[in-house]
Chain A
């Protein structure tokens, strides 16, 4: 795949960079939230970090543990792909980000990592998501940018 390029890639000229930009057929909602596209052998996961001092996990990753300051060391971790819905709602208005209504979102608790994260829901009727329901991570298009390219985000779908 032409777009399957390492993020560390360097460019020798603006023309080369522009050609690369033109060839890439997607963008991600924010760099550093998840690996995309996946390298061979890489598992689908949200990227967080955790303080080795107090054990607290942070998503998105923080620069410093606010509890331990410089006594804590932050290490990157992959969040467990399974979670439990803490709260959910159905939005009936189109989002300014270009998502068609009705759509469901809420907060997902990741028990293994003791963290709660914001998440869009997918894979079922938006009216069916309920607190306590088990869900799992997917990475897929959320909307389109002005060039008609997919904007890739993360969502959670019911575990079937």
Chain B
């Protein structure tokens, strides 16, 4: 397996872009990633595009060909990837495999999504599943997990709220974030109840946006003048779907993290900056535990100690996370890695973590039988 480097990273502002198409958002991210890398479109040998909902929401398929052609990439292999919230990170893994496997020397990875709905309409995702027909909604699934975590470990509503407070503070330093608004614990707790114990500000918003990365082999990376970032691990796992499992953790995530640490030959103690899938406040708490940042059940106490704040020992979601930065589903996994690249290069502005060397990005996607369909973990190292 060859070493793979990230030499270009870019994203659009996440938020509401009612007047822009998927193609327009994707174009902006891809063009800026190419500029960042100093690469021309004809040098790209393959393209991988993550998108989850365009067929359902925009009636559009083949988003990758539309986006990449807009920026001048055609004729080469282009693949569209759908893996729910992990669609973008799945595209990154495919791009990494193509370069690591020696099939291509330079590839582009994009994630593109528009999920902002007209006021009053709900995202009716998974409408064909019987659980959805019985009334299951995404926040409800995470609410059940939160209740179980509170029941078993004594995690409190205040600890959950602190995740949102921290991520909104980080997001206020991020010009690409959907929300630039600070929140207090009281504001999070007193916002409208969605599914007990999760309130409105415990849930990430629907968003529009795109992100892109340029990957290349070691040989091609030599001419790149900027700080090179190496992909030290790229792992994708799928759920076990044991319906009697303990829902206070995701076994699919533990497996992914373990493999990723093994692949990168390091442990959670060596991480300097982390981006996790905080679609709901409880998720971030459980990801602390799943990634080994603390012991099972200790996630609530980790946020209390301030360990995961920007100035803490292991800052988590410096970008503002999905809670503040927004969650354009298929773009989120790529945008997390864009943030890690910027952090490792020292380009993260007011939210810059102090001199990080190793970063990790984690995201999951989809529910099946009360389990998660897919989890990806990427570890990046400053070369």
Residues of chain A whose beta carbon lies under 8 Å from any beta carbon of chain B: 29-30, 33, 60, 87-93, 95-97, 99, 103, 105-107, 109, 114-120, 131, 142-143, 151, 153-155
Contacts and interface: CB of A to CB of B under 8 A. Distances in A.
B199 to A, nearest CB: 9
B133 A92 contact: no
Interface in B128-153: 130-137, 139-140, 143-145, 147-148, 151
Given A88-B144, A90-B195, A96-B124, A151 B133 contact: yes
Given A89-B195, A90-B195, A92-B195, A97 B133 contact: yes
Given A30-B130, A116-B243, A95 B137 contact: yes
B75 interface: no
A23 to B, nearest CB: 23
B130 A107 contact: no
A92 B131 CA distance: 17
Contact of B143 (A33, A89, A95): A89
A28 B242 CA distance: 26
B193 to A, nearest CB: 4
16 contacts: A29-B133, A60-B130, A87-B148, A87-B247, A89-B140, A90-B196, A91-B135, A92-B194, A95-B137, A99-B135, A105-B135, A116-B244, A116-B370, A120-B134, A131-B151, A155-B134
A143 B151 CA distance: 31
Given A89-B140, A107-B144, A142 B135 contact: yes
Interface of B: 122-124, 127, 130-137, 139-140, 143-145, 147-148, 151, 192-196, 243-244, 247, 370
Given A105-B135, A115-B243, A153-B134, 5 more contacts: A29-B130, A93-B137, A96-B127, A97-B134, A114-B244
Contact of B135 (A97, A114, A115): A97
Contacts of B196: 89-90, 92
Contact of A92 (B136, B145, B147, B192): B192
A155 B133 CA distance: 12
B244 A87 contact: no
Main secondary structure of the interface of A (DSSP, over half): strand
A87 B144 contact: yes
Contacts of A115: 243-244
A89 B135 contact: no
Given A89-B195, A90-B195, A33 B151 contact: no
Given A89-B196, A90-B196, A96-B124, A33 B140 contact: no
Nearest to B192: A92
Name the residue in A29, A93, A114 with the highest tally of chain B Cβ atoms < 10 Å from its Cβ. A93
A97 B134 CA distance: 7
A155 B130 CA distance: 12
Name the residue in B134, B151, B196 with the highest tally of chain A Cβ atoms < 10 Å from its Cβ. B134
Contacts of B192: 92
A151 B131 CA distance: 13
A33 B130 contact: yes
B300 to A, nearest CB: 18
Nearest to B248: A87
A114 B131 CA distance: 20
A143 B130 CA distance: 13
A99 B133 CA distance: 9
Contacts of B144: 87-89, 106-107
List the 8 closest pairs (A to B, CB-CB), nearest first.
A89-B143, A96-B124, A30-B130, A99-B135, A29-B133, A95-B135, A87-B144, A92-B193
Name the residue in A105, A109, A120, A154 with the highest tally of chain B Cβ atoms < 10 Å from its Cβ. A105
Contact of A103 (B135, B143, B244, B370): B135
A109 B125 CA distance: 26
Contacts of A131: 147-148, 151
A117 B130 CA distance: 12
A101 B186 CA distance: 24
Nearest to B241: A66
A142 B147 contact: no
Contacts of A119: 134
A118 B147 contact: no
A109 B318 CA distance: 39
Contacts of B122: 93, 96
A118 B193 contact: no
B154 to A, nearest CB: 15
Given A87-B247, A115-B243, A116-B244, A96 B193 contact: no
A97 B127 CA distance: 8
A99 B143 CA distance: 18
Nearest to B121: A96
Nearest to B129: A30
Contact of A89 (B123, B130, B133, B147): B147
Contacts of A89: 140, 143-144, 147, 195-196
